[in-house]
């Protein structure tokens, strides 16, 4: 556990220290686009924060490779593929944040980065199915892996709508993955120092280090440089964890089939709100006769702001929902107390819903303390 703590601190510290330098660089090359009508910030803010995220991730990965207890983790060349793919997706993001890229070119770059990962062994070998597992051939496994990587990259990119939102959600997902794999490793007697857990904890560290500069009011945006990189890294954990243990053995150990589905389901569950927002946005724009890619202010985070939530509260509510979903799924998969987990999750979810609708209730006067006082006074006179 000490090695994990050290790599977490290194990732967070290097990312934090690199952000001011990256910010100056972004301003110097003109990567500070003007404010658009749908933006929630009032002044131009530089992008390209993903360069610092990549720097923190690469530094933590390279330093951890020298730690005695983690050297066995770096036997395969998978981590070199992750560095190469991350570097390519970061370069694509830099070009897009500064000069812009059309959708086809960006998709081609994302596919190329995904191909690098697959070529270096980051590939699904099987998929969990109810009661069994489906073995994938080399070509089918490669195609499904590339598709999963590209979809997650774009989903995280879509979630980057408020200060600190994407970094926080991905950080929560990474911590949930770390907790999931660590508990499974302990229960099944695996080596606790493992590649998937290490990548997860490094990713969580880079997100934390970046959030110090990106939380509202943000001094820098991660841009496509960062959001695409976070999606790439998150999917690499998903694919590496899937297939690390036998599905039938896991079911016997944990008395739950969810434990083998979680690596695939967890990132989808955590980014479920952004994905639903994406689908609704496409439907909304299409029904209005507009292009599905036409910007508007109908996104979920815009609706939270319109309900009366502050910028910070809207982001914290999104964090809360991501945390509820992620850690409830992990708890249900590895702990043999589903009733307690579901009860606690339901109570927290009810509280979250209450926090969301609170400003609207206040606006309508349903929770006005002055109104309550007047009602009590009137009752006293009667």
* Digit-coded pLDDT (tens) for 323-354: 887 777 777 766 666 655 567 667 666 665 66
pLDDT at 369: 45
Tens-digit pLDDT profile for residues 293-314: 666 666 676 677 777 777 788 8
Please give the Cα distance from 35 to 227 (Å, whole number). 19
pLDDT at 370: 47
Mean pLDDT in the chain?
79
3-state secondary structure string across 264-308: HHHHHHHCHHHHHHHHHHHHHHHHCCCCCCCCCCCCHHHHHHHCC
Sign of CA dihedral 96, 63, 70, 178: negative
Mean pLDDT of 227-256: 71
Please give the Cα distance from 360 to 367 (Å, whole number). 9
DSSP string, 65-122: TTSGGGGGGGSSSHHHHHHHHHHHHHHHHHHHHHT---HHHHHHHHHHHHHHHHHTT-
Residue 259 has pLDDT above 70, yes or no: no
Residue showing tokens 């999963």? 148
């Amino acid at each position: 556990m000490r090695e994990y703590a050290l790599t977490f601190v290194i990732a967070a510290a290097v990312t934090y220290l690199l952000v001011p330098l990256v910010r100056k660089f972004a301003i110097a090359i003109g990567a500070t686009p003007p404010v658009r009508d749908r933006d929630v910030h009032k002044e131009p803010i530089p992008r390209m924060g993903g360069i610092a995220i990549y720097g923190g991730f690469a530094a933590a990965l390279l330093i951890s490779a020298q730690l005695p207890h983690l050297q066995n983790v770096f036997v395969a060349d998978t981590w070199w593929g992750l560095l190469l793919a991350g570097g390519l997706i970061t370069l694509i993001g830099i070009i897009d944040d500064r000069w812009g890229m059309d959708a086809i070119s960006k998709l081609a770059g994302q596919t190329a980065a995904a191909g690098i990962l697959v070529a270096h062994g980051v590939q699904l070998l099987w998929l969990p199915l109810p009661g069994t597992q489906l073995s994938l051939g080399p070509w089918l496994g490669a195609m499904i892996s590339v598709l999963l990587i590209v979809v997650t990259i774009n989903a995280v990119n879509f979630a980057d709508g408020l200060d600190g939102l994407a970094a926080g959600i991905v950080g929560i997902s990474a911590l949930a993955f770390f907790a999931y794999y660590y508990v499974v490793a302990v229960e099944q007697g695996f080596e606790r120092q493992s590649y998937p857990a290490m990548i997860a904890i490094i990713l969580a560290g880079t997100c934390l280090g970046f959030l110090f500069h990106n939380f509202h009011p943000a001094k820098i945006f991660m841009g496509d440089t960062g959001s695409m990189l976070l999606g790439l890294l998150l999917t690499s954990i998903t694919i590496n964890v899937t297939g690390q243990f036998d599905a039938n053995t896991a079911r016997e150990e944990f008395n739950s089939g969810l434990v083998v589905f979680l690596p695939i389901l967890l990132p989808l569950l955590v980014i479920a709100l952004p994905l639903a927002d994406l689908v609704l946005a496409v439907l909304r724009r299409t029904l209005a006769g507009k292009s599905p890619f036409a910007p508007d202010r109908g996104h979920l985070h815009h609706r939270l702001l319109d309900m009366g939530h502050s910028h910070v509260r809207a982001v914290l509510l999104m964090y809360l929902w991501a945390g509820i979903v992620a850690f409830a799924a992990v708890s249900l998969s590895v702990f043999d107390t589903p009733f307690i987990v579901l009860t606690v999750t339901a109570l927290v979810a009810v509280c979250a819903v209450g926090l969301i609708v609170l400003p609207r209730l206040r606006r309508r006067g349903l929770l006005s303390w002055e109104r309550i006082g007047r009602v009590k006074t009137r009752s006293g006179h009667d």
